[in-house]
Structure 1
Amino acid sequence: MELGKINKLLAAYFEGNTSLAEEKVLKNYFNNQTVAEEHRQYQPLFMSFEAAKEERSSRAISLGNAKKKNIQSWWYAVAAVVVTAFGVGAFYFSQPQYTQEEREALAAFEKSKEAMMLLSENLNKGTERLTFVGQFETSKDKIFE
């Protein structure tokens, strides 16, 4: 086989740019006894691939109990639904449910609260004006002494 072609295939192989057919050509070349001296360093690599392909394990492989994992994930889903339902129910039932009489009492309370705030504001304005009267009294006392 041409050495130039093998060199190009080896360069492409080590770059990871070969097709399966090109790799088969390289395997056939290196599995023959007529390998060029400059390519002898790669021969054990390609021969080990062939040997690895023939290896078989006699050890039994246990995959575990897959059904147990499915049951656990099922229980997690059920627990998530229960927690969500509990949260929604707690929010719904925590909202106050007032009777018509209680709603009317709350409305009257809000109106009386507004009236008290208005009275307080006006009282505060009057109190501010009384400070001017106090100053007037002190000034008057100073003048008439």
Structure 2
Amino acid sequence: MNSNDIRKLVEKFYEGKTSLEEERTLADFLLRDNVPDEFFPDSKLFYALNTHSMAIASLIDSFKEEQPSDKKIKMSHAKYWAIGVAASFALILGVRQFQKSQHAESTLFTDTYKNPDDAYRATVEALQLFSDNFSKGTESVEKANMHLEKAQEIINQSLKQGIEK
């Protein structure tokens, strides 16, 4: 058999279109000791398949599905029923907890003042306090900025003197 025929058989094998007789012919060629270099990877594959074919066959046989007995079927129905009850219970607890959290959240945002004028006065006082504290902070920043400008002038003068020397 020439290389072209073997190449076609290998392609057909990888496509899953070979017959049992063609696979035997291919195996006979690829399991020889003097396989051409272009077929060496295919030869390694066929060698692995040939040496492990019994193990693969027994593994496939072990996958055969057993017919479930009536006892197993009844047991699986009981498991599904128990899982359903547990899921329903968890759902009820989750909804109840959600309702509690919604009720607690609504009580957080209740009015603190009954009279709108009192609320207005308290708001104005809070804003005035904020404004005073903010002004103090900006004054400190302005002072710090002035010191930084002076320091920058000194650094610039020092750099100029260093460059001139």
What is the TM-score when the length of structure 2 is the normalising length?
Answer: 0.38
Q: Which has the higher contact order (CA 8 A, sep 6+)?
A: 1
